[in-house]
Amino acid sequence: MSSGSFVFSPTTLRSLERDEDMLQRHEHKQQLASRCLSSYMLKRGGQEQTTAEVQHCPARARICQDVVVQNALYTGDLEAMRHLFPQGSSANLIIEPQGGDMRWVARGEGLWSLTYEQELTTPLHITATRGFTECLKLLLQRGADVDLSPAGVTALHESCENCEPECTKLLLIHGANANAVSEEDGRMPLHMCSHPESLQCAKYLLEYGAAINGRTQDEDDTPLHVAAQNGLLEHTELYLRYGAAVDKENSEGLTPFNAACAQPQEVQDLKRYFQVCQMLLGAGANIHTTDQDKRTPLHMACKNANPDLVDLLLTNGACVNNMDYGGEAPMHNILKVVCYKVSHDPEKVVRSLLNYGSIRVWPGALPMVLRHCSESPRTIEVLLNAYSHLKVNDTWFESVPAEVFKEHKEFYESVFSLAQTPRSLQHLARCRLRSFLDGRVHRVVPKLDLPTFIKNYLLLEYRGYVH
């Protein structure tokens, strides 16, 4: 090793590799913006044929680095903009603002400097994104090009993404292309409507000819996929009314229905996704369509522990024991997530699956299930009540963490007492009847001429203990 060199530590090398990757992405975005701008300039040059034609075409875009202009745009200062963009001036500007995240950038000869990310934009993009309607109207009156996209997206894309309906309407009135495609991921403005507040934007786009079944270039998603993935009930209803295809598959083999079932869901989101799936099902969605890994919507709903959605699928004929490519049934999917989804009431999902004839866990694996699902005693209760006999041993005691046992002491004491006490005659009778019905429990038991509490007992209702 020469005296002028030194050794990088592994941490430093990893940091340099990350910086190199970030630099490459930054250079790619800059090249993309440069290509968009060059393409725009060439197109404008080809259109300028006569003086008369030029008068009716937007002026060629100019690079603007004036901080005063940028400040007026970013603050929505209408009076300042009237002064900066008087009658007869051009509003076609390309702006390269500084801001956002900072990163190390190579400056040549081995020197690096810390600088802000930069991305090309226009006055239309800035005002449309921020909802400065009057400022946007002024720029459009000054002949700003509505479809100029130096960074690969139009102002219409950004107004829809930021849920600015009035700006969206203004751009469309002035001729913005409702089906413009973004450079990086091939999305149309309708694909950008991914929040509940963007509903009015979606309505305006459809009124101005947006393609209801347009596909993104990267994921092959339709607008209905986007609405389903985000649990947007009103968007879903709107798109179906406009003729959206309910069973088109994207690049991952997901229909909008599958996409809604597969999307991770917090407790507050469960009802929205259930309602979206209910609407798609009513529109003719196929609940048996599987993705590339042979996972059905029921697999996905169980993985997200959405009890109402699971019941909806089972009621409409979903196959409770279908296996995916990994050899897992829906029951496996719910048991794997119980510890993360206790607030989702996973016991309801397990109970429904068992009542519809789901396979049970191999008895020898119950201690493992106990270890992973012990924080949900109701789930354990439902599972154990599906067996007529259980071999409780020391492994069962060791599988329940001490803090969980302390919190749910009465329940786990009833479980561990089965090591010395056989199951009750009442429970054995329940198991015998359920075994006889063999997958018809959910259909037959509600029709029996029995008291409600007995029907609930047969359907594995929770009691807070086992006997």
CA 259/CA 228 separation, integer angstroms: 6
Number of other CB atoms surrounding residue 102 within 10 Å: 11
The single residue listed with the structure tokens 């949900």 is 376
Strands 62-64 and 111-118 turn out to be unpaired
Residues 6+ apart with CB under 8 A from 334: 302, 303, 305, 346, 349, 350, 353
CA 126 to chain CA centroid, nearest Å: 26
pLDDT of residue 117: 53
* Cβ 186 vs Cβ 217: under 8 Å: yes
* Cβ 329 vs Cβ 322: under 8 Å: yes
* Cβ 154 vs Cβ 184: under 8 Å: no
How does pLDDT run along the chain (467 residues), one tens digit per residue? 444 434 445 555 555 566 566 556 555 555 554 554 455 444 444 444 433 333 334 456 777 777 888 889 989 999 999 998 888 777 888 887 655 555 565 555 566 665 555 578 899 999 999 999 999 999 999 989 999 988 899 999 999 999 999 999 999 999 999 999 999 889 999 999 999 999 999 999 999 999 999 999 989 999 999 999 999 999 999 999 999 999 999 999 999 999 999 999 999 999 999 999 999 999 999 999 999 999 999 999 999 999 999 999 999 999 999 999 999 999 999 999 999 999 999 999 999 999 999 999 999 999 999 999 999 999 999 999 999 999 999 999 999 999 999 999 999 999 999 998 889 999 999 999 999 998 899 999 999 999 999 999 999 999 999 98
Equal CATH topology for 62-104+115-211 and 213-359: yes
Instruction: Supply φ then ψ for residue 369, to 5 degrees.
Output: -65, -40
CA 423/CA 384 separation, integer angstroms: 11
pLDDT of residue 50: 33
- pTM for this prediction: 0.81
DSSP H helical ranges for 57-154: 67-75, 78-84, 123-130, 133-141
Q: Where are the domains of the chain?
A: 62-104+115-211, 213-359, 361-467
pLDDT of residue 94: 85
pLDDT of residue 303: 96
Number of other CB atoms surrounding residue 97 within 10 Å: 17
* Cβ 428 vs Cβ 388: under 8 Å: yes
Packing angle, helices 366-373 and 330-337, rounded to 10: 40
**Structurally, what CATH architecture does the domain formed by 62-104+115-211 represent?**
Alpha Horseshoe (1.25)
CA 221/CA 238 separation, integer angstroms: 17
Determine the residue type at 377: P
Distances, alpha carbon 30 to alpha carbons 43, 299, 323, in Å: 20, 43, 47
E strands, 271-346, are none
pLDDT of residue 214: 96
Is CATH 1.25.40.20 correct for 213-359? yes
CA 322/CA 443 separation, integer angstroms: 20
Closest CA to 301 of 387, 434, 280: 280
CA 466 to chain CA centroid, nearest Å: 39
pLDDT of residue 100: 53
State the DSSP code for 208: T
* Cβ 256 vs Cβ 246: under 8 Å: yes
Which pairs from 128-131 meet CB under 8 Å and 24+ separation? 128/155, 128/156, 128/158, 128/159, 128/162, 128/164, 128/167, 128/168, 128/171, 129/155, 129/158, 129/159, 129/161, 129/162, 129/164, 130/74, 130/76, 130/162, 130/164, 131/162, 131/164, 131/166, 131/167
